[in-house]
Amino acid sequence: MPDQFATMLTGIAKAAEEVSPMRASSVIRRRGDQRRNRQRAAVGALAAVAVGATIATGSVLGMHRTANNLPAILPSVTAGPTATPDTTATAAPSATPTSGPSSTGSGQADAGTATSATPDRCHTGDLRGDFHQFEWPGHAGSESDAELGLTNISGRTCVIYGYPGIQLIGADGQPRTTTVVRSKSQPSRSVTLAPGATAWALVVSVFTPSPDEADTNPLCGGPVNQIKVIPPDETSQLTINAQVGTVCAHGELIVAPFQATRPSDNPPTPSGS
Amino acid sequence: MGPSVFEGEAMRETADFDAFYASTSRRVLGQVFMMTGGRAEAEDAVAEAYARAWQQWDKVSTHAAPEAWVRTTAYRISVSTWRKATNRLLAHRRHGQTDDVPGLTPDHVALVDALRDIAAEQRRVIVLHYYVGMSLDEISRETNCPVNTVKTRLARARKALATKVSEFADDSTSTSGLGARSNA
């Protein structure tokens, strides 16, 4: 309609095209190949776990530590509340609505643990899982954001480092195709969990169908209401009842490494401001 | 590990993809830049989208509109929340460097700024309609939304832009404000 407007848009886009250095096609293909290999490995490992096999190989699940994307220096972050590790109940993740001003998140507490020895890794049996979907203010689109919390329910301090493994379970109780893609949006950190403290990982899924999923019925295989989670470097899983809803993109989940802070407490700044 | 295709087949696929990338990637970059408002963000998203296209090239190459597939994927990547979180972190590191495109006229810059201020979905519809030149029906298909939603987004975007960009105020585009246009 306003022709001048279209002309201006064209001018801007052309300028951007001209100044942008395009990566070589071979570089793009290599990146695609790497993605494919990573996903194959992840799918294989999770499928093995989902059918109850306990023989998850360290070489695959061990990717949590061997992935070459890990930063050389690992900042150690302590998740609170560590000051008064009294009962586990008080430290349970509060059901604070994610909109609205949230009360001080667990990540705000920054009481350092005085123990000199590095605490042991958190084992599956030490942990309880929670999965909440949330919406960042002003965010709309085709994606669903959720946070996966693992709470230390043991009596000792332990450490979580890396990414969770996740398997989606359908309404029929059967495992669904799941592809976990590891986001490097946040650095991997050692999160030290005092008894009762929780580490959080951002989990993003797509709820609008890909072109080849548009005609599926139920859409994208129907709702997911349970997930199985393998904590980093562990081989056994936690089951979490969670209304994940529809997961399209062939079960792709984009997962960030565990952090001491809740993703829902850290909305991204709206683009443009 | 090894792909189960014959070597000749693999080479043909590679050549196909390279040709597709060479002929479309700059155009897609321009479009995605308009949808995101950030150059670095657009470059990253486009590269990632083409990597995903190669990752499933057997599907994408036979898709009815591979270029639309890549554009849609790049858009989704750019609005995805984890990507935003990344950019938020990177923004600190990039402090001082601008994400802008050199060589833009002042009214281009004003429009880019105005576009950055509207919602991503509205920006996407604006770009698809006015720049890519798609009909409402086509946009409805590409964005997977009902036509009415597309209409609403377009109307809202135009309303929001009208307050900032005189070219968009109404159809009888009076060229006031935004400085002199450098060339006709």
Asked whether the predicted pLDDT for residue A149 surpasses 70, the reply is: yes
The radius of gyration of chain A from alpha carbons, rounded to an integer in Å, stands at 21
Do residue A16 and residue B30 have CB atoms under 8 angstroms apart?
Answer: yes
Is A5 a member of any domain? no
Tell me how far apart the alpha carbons of residues A93 and A167 are, in angstroms, rounded to a whole number: 22
pLDDT at B76: 86
B36: distance to nearest CA of chain A, Å? 8
Tell me how far apart the alpha carbons of residues A138 and A269 are, in angstroms, rounded to a whole number: 10
Most confident of A23-27, A32-36, B54-58: B54-58
Bond prior to A81 in cis (omega within 30° of 0)? yes
Query: How many independent structural domains does chain A possess?
Result: 1
Least confident range from A89-98, A107-116, B133-142: namely: A89-98
Chain B residues touching residue A17 (CB < 8 angstroms): 26-27, 29-30, 33
Q: Pick the residue from chain B with its C-alpha nearest to A257.
A: B82
Chain A residues touching residue B102 (CB < 8 angstroms): 15, 19
The radius of gyration of chain B from alpha carbons, rounded to an integer in Å, stands at 19
Range(s) of the domain holding residue A131: 24-265
Asked whether the predicted pLDDT for residue A50 surpasses 70, the reply is: no
- Nearest by CB to A16, from B21, B101, B116: name it: B101
Q: ipTM of this model?
A: 0.72
Do residue A11 and residue B102 have CB atoms under 8 angstroms apart?
Answer: no
- Nearest by CB to A20, from B17, B34, B43: name it: B43
Measured N-to-C along each axis, helices B39-55 and B81-93 cross at an angle, to the nearest 10 degrees, of 140
Tell me how far apart the alpha carbons of residues B78 and B72 are, in angstroms, rounded to a whole number: 10
Nearest-5° Cα angle at A98, A264 to A248: 65
**B6 interfacial to chain A (CB closer than 8 Å):** no
Is A226 a member of any domain? yes
Is A244 a member of any domain? yes
Q: Pick the residue from chain B with its C-alpha nearest to A12.
A: B108
Is A133 a member of any domain? yes
Asked whether the predicted pLDDT for residue A196 surpasses 50, the reply is: yes
Is A162 a member of any domain? yes
pLDDT per residue as tens digits for the range A163-182: 999 999 988 888 998 988 88
Q: Quote the tokens at residue B119.
A: 């919602």
pLDDT at B115: 86
Q: DSSP assignment, residue A232?
A: T
Task: Please report, for the domain that includes residue A203, its CATH number.
Answer: 2.60.40.10
Is A3 a member of any domain? no
Do residue A28 and residue B37 have CB atoms under 8 angstroms apart?
Answer: no
Do residue A140 and residue B119 have CB atoms under 8 angstroms apart?
Answer: yes
Chain A residues touching residue B55 (CB < 8 angstroms): 32-33, 35-36
Q: Which helix (H) or strand (E) holds B151?
A: helix B147-162
Please, what are the domains in chain B? 1-102 (no CATH), 103-171 (1.10.10.10)
DSSP string, B56-107: THHHHTTSS-HHHHHHHHHHHHHHSHHHHHHHHHHHHHTTTS--SPTT--HH
Chain B residues touching residue A23 (CB < 8 angstroms): 47
Task: Give the amino acid at A64.
Answer: H
Q: Which residues pair with A190 in a beta bridge?
A: A76, A161
Is A50 a member of any domain? yes
C-alpha distance from residue A226 to each of A231, A235, B11, B31 (Å):
16, 19, 43, 38
Do residue B82 and residue A14 have CB atoms under 8 angstroms apart?
Answer: no
Q: Pick the residue from chain A with its C-alpha nearest to B166.
A: A5
| B106-133 average pLDDT score | 87
Chain B residues touching residue A185 (CB < 8 angstroms): 82-83, 85-86, 89
Q: Could you count the other beta carbons within 10 Å of the beta carbon of residue A47?
A: 14
Judge whether A163 and A255 are in contact, CB under 8 Å: yes
Chain B residues touching residue A22 (CB < 8 angstroms): 25-26, 29
- pLDDT band at residue B175 under the 50/70/90 scheme: very low
- Residues 56-75 in B contacting A (C-alpha not used; CB under 8 Å): 57, 59, 63-64, 69
**B117 interfacial to chain A (CB closer than 8 Å):** yes
pLDDT per residue as tens digits for the range B43-70: 888 988 999 999 889 889 888 889 999 9
DSSP string, B119-140: -HHHHHHHIIIIIS---HHHHH
Chain B residues touching residue A3 (CB < 8 angstroms): 173
